Amino acid sequence: MEEAKYNSAAWDEEARKGNYWTLPVNEDEVQKAKNGEPFVRLTPASYVKSSWIEGMKGKDVLLLASAGGQQTVLLSAFGANVLSIDISPEQVKKDNETLRKFALNGSAIVGDMCSLDTVASSSFDYVFIPHSINFISRLDGLYSEVDRVLKKNGHFLFGTANPVLYIFDEKKEEKGKLKVKYTLPFSDERSKSRKEVERMIREKDTFESSHTLDSILSPLFERGYHLIDFYSDYSLNDTVDSFIHDSFLAFNFLKCRL
């Protein structure tokens, strides 16, 4: 399956629809970032802890699957040297238009976060990914690339959906009910029928995968990364949040070896 191709088209569509993650920041938010308060997000409801980003000023920061006129713009206004790489041309367009609007120096290009051919090894102090790892079915390619481009003692900040969110029937959830339907780990491609997958492609829905906590965390520990900090977050879905308080998870890992 051409996962990257389908999700590129799907996020172009989300950008046109005005998805929560595709709305550019305003002048007030940019000014706050310039004043030292960049309110950026790895997860839907909460802003990233200030202690995680206070060291980014003057540093080289790579944002992956994070375009849309938000994180790229705010971290650039904060004083970081930002490059954003996103698979959606529409999202990248929003980043670059908003950067130009506020005369900021960051940049955004179209690319696949699992194949960073244009990025030099050991060239970034931070890699920042919102909960976009749920839009790829395998993490090994991404983790290899992050490890390659991140400097020693660099930080890998990312968010992810709690795997348990993927057990529920989406149609029931939309009606305010939670009914277990799927086994974990979940994948739209493997867990749904061929007819459902064809409908998703036709309607330009995003393809997602739940991953397991083991597959998310163990490879980083094996590569010598240290977990510095962690927090959980709500989903902004009242039905889900009334049942699960840790809907989304955010991690701050430190690369401790070359």
How do strand 107-110 and strand 150-161 relate by DSSP bridges? unpaired
Domain count for the chain? 1
Whether residue 173 lies inside any domain: the answer is no
Do residues 164 and 247 touch, judged by C-beta distance below 8 A? no
What is the DSSP secondary structure assignment for residue 56, as one 8-state letter?
G
For the domain that residue 60 is a member of, what is the CATH number? 3.40.50.150
> Counting beta carbons within 10 angstroms of the beta carbon of residue 192, is it exposed (0 to 12), middle (13 to 18) or buried (19 or more)?
middle
pLDDT, tens digit only, all 258 positions of the chain = 588 999 999 999 999 999 999 999 999 999 999 999 999 999 999 999 999 999 999 999 999 999 999 999 999 999 999 999 999 999 999 999 999 999 999 999 999 999 999 999 999 999 999 999 999 999 999 999 999 999 999 999 999 999 999 999 998 998 999 999 999 999 999 999 999 999 999 999 999 999 999 999 999 999 999 999 999 999 999 999 999 999 999 999 999 975
Q: What span, in angstroms and rounded, lies between the C-alpha atoms of 146 and 72?
A: 18
Whether residue 73 lies inside any domain: the answer is yes
Phi, psi for 72 (deg, rounded to 5): -60, -45
Angle at 101 between CA 97 and CA 106, to 5 degrees: 65
Q: Which domain holds residue 21?
A: 3-164+210-255
Structure confidence by residue, pLDDT tens digits, 16-68: 999 999 999 999 999 999 999 999 999 999 999 999 999 999 999 999 999 99
Whether residue 200 lies inside any domain: the answer is no
The identity of residue 163, as a single letter, is P
